[in-house]
Structure 1
């Protein structure tokens, strides 16, 4: 068969040579939220919901308004700040007056020191009131004293929403869950016997079971404890997800390289065919056509198969189109039998 006929038939050849055979570990897994980039938002103050401009599934930016509450606690804290600010203004005026009188030798030093102490205490009271509001995320506020604005802590997607207008919420009520879905986790359980092959920093391929898609990630965590019932350890891979294709809850298959070894004689795994369902053969070119060469195979992976007997390094063999040659051989054998 000349080169033109080989090309037309889709037959490709290559030379036998050394290659690396990789042992692949396959584990079932599931896409989960990246908990390092997921926030369970609580209001931090009790109150009644006035409005909820944010919706489930909405993409939000850091600082974007999620909900507005009326909170008696916030009103009290802002009132405290206003009162402290007024006392501070008065203390500054008194201090300035007492300082001038003391410098002019009109009043006693004790009056000046007392005014200075009162000023320091007023400054501390204002700072304390400001920090209370800041800790609750309330701020000084420019409108109603009881208005509390709940805002997004970072860029993300609202994946859970648990409040409605008119609802009373506590300071620990989880009202929103926001997750940055540009990064997700692929979580799996690893049997104790497979743990030596799963190391932090190891590259892994994640393949979706529901559609044809794959991505490469890095093992970010391997659990230190084995479950008493499952006898497995948790592990996870961090996946970049800029297009949002890897949705939490999606089932996946995770592939990791368990080991790799260099072998002196190897062929493409697609070149291996079985005759009569038992004997492994590789088709090699001979004068006028091709011959099925019996081989004994060793280690293999989806791309490469080690050859222990039957072929030598440098020998030409068929890499693509061997299945068609096998079919032709079977047809010729059947015709000969008749």
Structure 2
């Protein structure tokens, strides 16, 4: 069984065990929701004697706002003759105090009703010397889970705050030898190879004696030394053979490698020469840190630009021809607010996180920005210092969906 399934099973079990009356309570709330009377403007209709107040959220071509329509004895009341105040008590005892002013045949609220539309609604109205009051719950995307249960199901939290983003670009490439890492060894004069002091596969040091050649003209012997440190990867001669102006040995220095990294045209402007880069081979834990040193003049068949990065392979972890993954550092910057991407869930048409206040959890509709390494920049929708669920937030989503919390206007 997968771990999320275990969490879900435990969560359902604990809810059933600790909150045996939860289903009955939700059923009662559902029945109450069905009894809510709606007015002609699709708002909630509040009655007292023959006085009726319809409180509707209007959000067509405007940010959400309250509008109030008044009737008495089923007849419209002049909006100029009524005073209305609405207080919305949000989670954490945050109160939105809304006053109204006449507009056409209705009263219009003086502030935006921001998401989530989850609050206790207190309505006060004055008309012809009489006062009218109503109060009701209008919750959405909210649930309550005891701290004991939250601990049992590993419902972890963190705090919204600033974050330094180290932005990087992931690219792919291939390792090849550095330009000066291969040397072909030949004789200056034609002659006979009298002795091979090193052969194929052998490692040699710079300056080490490789071949003794006897000149065909002077019959004097000449010594050929290794021009670089490395491994003999090709041998095209043997003792007694003529040199004939050909390459006798090929030496490769495997410590001098180069990574060719392909960067697409849409990203090339983000990368600068000297940018730090971390290179690894898929399936291996070995990594090397280096820098972008140069680029090729031409582009690949897919129009990607090839950037070069030198690799010091003294430890011998890499080999020419290997495919590599590289993360090129693009820069570091701080964002005022950030959230772990694992915390994000969907709710209606929004991407949300779940804020925690005491033992209650509620959605926060987020406006998101840049994404870097498991973190997402927050542009709006939640305040700094808010405690939020950063692990197993899908359990909160499941409980809210099971509760049938609605978006009631």
Alpha-carbon deviation of 1:313? Answer: 1.4
- Mapped partners of 2:360, 2:198: distance in 1: 71
- Mapped partners of 1:160, 1:4: distance in 2: 69
Which residue does the alignment assign to 1:247?
319
1:286 to 351, 357, 379: 357
For normalisation by structure 2, the TM-score amounts to 0.54
Q: 1:308 to 1:43 in 2, by over 3 A?
A: same
Give the SS at the match of 2:267.
helix
- Contact 1:198-1:222 within 8 A present in 2 as well: no
Alpha-carbon deviation of 1:195? Answer: 3.0
1:256 to 319, 328, 332: 328
Alpha-carbon deviation of 1:330? Answer: 6.0
Q: Equivalent residues in 2 for 1:178-327 (5 A)?
A: 178-223=251-296, 225-227=297-299, 231-258=303-330, 260-274=332-346, 279-288=350-359, 290-319=361-390, 322=391, 324-326=392-394
Alpha-carbon deviation of 1:152? Answer: 1.4
- Contact 1:20-1:304 within 8 A present in 2 as well: no
Alpha-carbon deviation of 1:218? Answer: 0.6
1:259-281 Cα offsets, whole Å, 9 max, x none, are 554322112334334569x7533
Give the SS at the match of 1:36.
coil
Alpha-carbon deviation of 1:28? Answer: 1.8
Q: 1:5 to 1:227 in 2, by over 3 A?
A: closer
Q: Equivalent residues in 2 for 1:15-34 (5 A)?
A: 15-34=159-178
Alpha-carbon deviation of 1:243? Answer: 1.3
**Where in structure 2 are there 5+ consecutive unaligned residues?**
1-145, 405-409
Q: 1:303 to 1:178 in 2, by over 3 A?
A: farther
Q: 1:228 to 1:305 in 2, by over 3 A?
A: closer
Which residue does the alignment assign to 2:214?
70
1:40 to 172, 184, 194: 184
Q: Equivalent residues in 2 for 1:166-181 (5 A)?
A: 166-171=240-245, 173-181=246-254
Q: 1:151 to 1:28 in 2, by over 3 A?
A: same
- Mapped partners of 2:200, 2:149: distance in 1: 61
Which residue does the alignment assign to 1:159?
233
- Mapped partners of 2:199, 2:362: distance in 1: 68
Alpha-carbon deviation of 1:296? Answer: 2.8
- Contact 2:277-2:291 within 8 A present in 1 as well: yes
| Between structures 1 and 2, the one with greater strand share | 2
1:64-119 Cα offsets, whole Å, 9 max, x none, are 2323333325xx2xxxxxxxxxxxxxxxxxxxxxxxxxxxxxxxxxxxxxxxxxxx
Alpha-carbon deviation of 1:249? Answer: 0.6
Which residue does the alignment assign to 1:59?
203
1:43-76 Cα offsets, whole Å, 9 max, x none, are 3332333443424333221222323333325xx2
- Contact 1:21-1:305 within 8 A present in 2 as well: no
For normalisation by structure 1, the TM-score amounts to 0.64
Q: 1:164 to 1:291 in 2, by over 3 A?
A: farther
User: What root-mean-square deviation, in Å, do the aligned CA atoms of Structure 1 and Structure 2 show?
Assistant: 3.3
- Mapped partners of 1:211, 1:228: distance in 2: 26
Q: 1:160 to 1:334 in 2, by over 3 A?
A: farther
Alpha-carbon deviation of 1:304? Answer: 2.4
Higher RCO, Cα 8 Å, sep 6+ = 1
1:169-216 Cα offsets, whole Å, 9 max, x none, are 233x22333233233211124444433223221111212124333221
Instruction: Give aligned pairs, total.
Output: 259
